[in-house]
Amino acid sequence: MELRHLRAFVAVAEELHFGKAARRLYIAQSAVSQLVRGLEAELGVTLFERTSRRVSLTWAGHVLLDEARDLLARQALLTERMGRVRAGETGEVGLGTIPALPPDLIPGLLADLRDRLPDVSVVARSLPSGLTAAAALDRPDVDIALLRGAVIVPGISTIQVARERVGVALPATDSLAARSSLVATDLEGRAFVAFPRHDDPVEFDRLFGALAASGLRSHSSHESPPGGVDASLRLVRSGVAVSLKLESEVRAHRDSAVVWRPLDDPALHVVITAAWRPDQLGPASRRLVDLLREQLLPQ
């Protein structure tokens, strides 16, 4: 039994006329008759009483009509749903996220996607700090990865999704809090609280190497977990340390005892890059990439 047999049967059952059913289906009347006869032979029942003047449904035909309509409706629904999957209007996207992203980035992205594509499920999955783009995208549950810094790897496409200036989080009572901006040498001898170098040596060396290049000769360090913004800012609040932070991180901490001041020398920024392998993206993931492109920051 094929769907075409059921379509022919339903058309004849609703029209009670083989000629009208044929015109409705855009096929020859003989083809409709052949399809109905084939269905009757397969089921072993007579579906229509036929005379030279009228066509009527048998009891078996009435029973089959409800079932056939249900099957065809389910097939139409399946086709519609698969069309939505093909168009990326529904599906699941695995979004790999490293620690210490700007605090509003993921909530804003997910809220925008929920409004634009309410039937696409984006599952944020935690990635270790310092993971390479290739390693992140080798994970079977990650379609798109959000990473720090530029990504230049053959076979991987990217979009810069966030870029924010780095500054210094200070206790509000610190004498440096009275300044509108700071330079590296202002921080001479201060203790910093930062993520351990072994968690992300590239980013650690980028930040503290730039401070050294701008004249900072000595400092000590306390460690906090990657992404442990609140933990590190509690140390700042107590006056134990200062910390390199994004303004959005300090603002989200909501503590008037901690202030943020921009760092003018060196001028540092945190760049967040979305990375993916084009040949491994499904339709829903491609729609998410399109959304990211619409929000592309000026270069």
CATH of the domain at 80: 1.10.10.10
What is the domain-level CATH number for residue 149? 3.40.190.290
Is the pLDDT confidence value at 155 over 60? yes
**Do 281 and 137 sit in the same domain of this protein?**
yes
**Do 22 and 65 sit in the same domain of this protein?**
yes
**Do 263 and 151 sit in the same domain of this protein?**
yes
Residue 11 token pair: 């058309």
**22-38 pLDDT, tens per residue?**
999 999 999 999 999 99
| Beta-carbon-side half-sphere exposure of residue 160 (alpha carbons within 13 Å) | 12
**Do 115 and 261 sit in the same domain of this protein?**
yes
**243-291 pLDDT, tens per residue?**
999 999 999 999 999 999 999 999 999 999 999 999 999 888 988 898 8
Q: What is the pTM of this model?
A: 0.70
**Do 164 and 275 sit in the same domain of this protein?**
yes
pLDDT confidence of 299, banded at 50, 70, 90? Answer: very low
Give the domain-ending residue among 59, 86, 113. Answer: 86
- Domain residues for 273? 91-299
Q: Are 247 and 260 in contact (CB under 8 A)?
A: yes
Q: Is 298 helix (H, G, I), strand (E, B) or coil?
A: coil
Is the pLDDT confidence value at 213 over 80? yes
Residue 45 neighbours by CB distance under 10 Å = 14
**Do 221 and 78 sit in the same domain of this protein?**
no
Q: Are 269 and 163 in contact (CB under 8 A)?
A: yes
